Amino acid sequence: MQALLDQLDALLANNSIFTLQTLSFYGDGLVTTVQLVFMSLIIGLILAIPLAIGRSSKNGLIKWPIFLYTYVFRGTPLLVQLYLIYYGVVFVEGIQESWLWPVVKDPFVPALVAFTLNTAAYTTEIFRGAIKATPKGEIEAARAYGMSPALTLRRIVLPSAFRRALPAYGNEVIFMLHASAIASVVTLMDLTGAARFVYARFYAPFDAFLFVAAIYLCLTFSILYLFRFLEKRLLAHLQPMT
């Protein structure tokens, strides 16, 4: 314990690691991480809605390709997907000369694509489960009102499925935040990338990684409370009466 206190003292007195330079690395890293996670979640969500509807379809030609996609992306490590996209894209014939190159040259875009495809696969399955769990009575009631299948989907099935999917989706958001740490392996300077830089420069694993762990912890809790709040608001009708 005394050793720990001494170390803390030394850290504060002679702070050679957390200088303005390294703190700005952590700051930029925070921005990169939040951008990457937020953008991939939004795009993934937009992709997942039609995919989930298709995945619940009775038409095999629609259903099975989507199943294959979610099966592969959920069954393999995100790291492997990231490697494939980051290194794979440069082997597309003539890519370096095309207009796309300035876009995919930067590690941010391949990472974004990998993360988006990954989260879209998980989100599709979450929504599919929620759609499947729609009470039959709700659909029958909509039919009885003379709604078309499309209208039923839009007005009845999807809104109630979204609410039911909320807790699972909250987990997915946290999962993505944590998964984004691997962006540092393709040279992106996200939060973890900043920590690895500081570690390699100062040979100080505890300082570098504990600091970044604390930032992630704060982010995780913010997401957690946001979703708790949303659940309270949107799922109020499912709460037990008191």
Partner 1 sequence: MKKLLTLSLLGLAVAATSAQARDDDQIRIAVDVPYEPMEFRTPDGELTGFDIDLGNAMCAEMKVECEWVVQGWDGIIPGLMARKYDAIMSSMTINDRRRDKVLFSEPYFTPPSAWFAPSTSDLDDATEDSLDGMTIGVQRGTLQDNYVTDMYGNVADVNRYSTADDMVLDMESERLDIVFLDYPVGQSTLLESENRDYKVVGEMLTEPKKYFGDGFGMGFRKRDQDLADKFNQALKTLKDNGTYDDIEARYFDKP
Partner 2 sequence: MLDLQGYGPRLLEGAGVTLSLAVLSLVLSVVLGLVTASAKMSRSVIAHRLATLYTTLIRGVPDLVLMLLLFFGGQIGVNALTDWLDDATGVDIFININEFIAGVVTIGLIFGAYMGETFRGAFMAVDHGQIEAGKAYGMNDRLVFWRIRFPQMMRHALPGLSNNWMVLLKTTALVSVIGLADMVRIASEASKATREPFTFMLVVAVVYLLIASVSELAFARLQKRYSIGYGEMD
User: Does 107 participate in binding partner 1 (rule CB under 8 A)?
Assistant: yes
Tokens of 98: 């095309």
Neighbours of 101 (CB within 10 A): 15
74 binds partner 1 (CB under 8 A): no
Q: Does 83 bind partner 1 (CB under 8 A)?
A: no
Give the range of 2-10, 37-45, 100-108, 170-178 binding partner 1 by CB under 8 A.
100-108
Residues 153-182 close enough to bind partner 2 by CB under 8 A = 174, 177-182
By C-alpha distance, which of 128, 213, 122, 114 is closest to 170? 122
> Are 78 and 112 spatial neighbours (Cβ–Cβ below 8 Å)?
no
- Residues in the chain, total: 242
Whether 184 and 190 have beta carbons less than 8 Å apart is answered as yes
CB 144 within 8 A of CB 83: no
- Contact residues toward partner 1 (CB under 8 A) are 87, 90, 96, 101, 105, 107, 185, 187, 189, 193, 196-197, 199-201, 203, 205
- Contact residues toward partner 2 (CB under 8 A) are 3, 71-72, 74-81, 83-84, 87-88, 91, 174, 177-182, 184-185, 192, 195-196, 199, 205-206, 209-210, 212-213, 216-217, 220-221
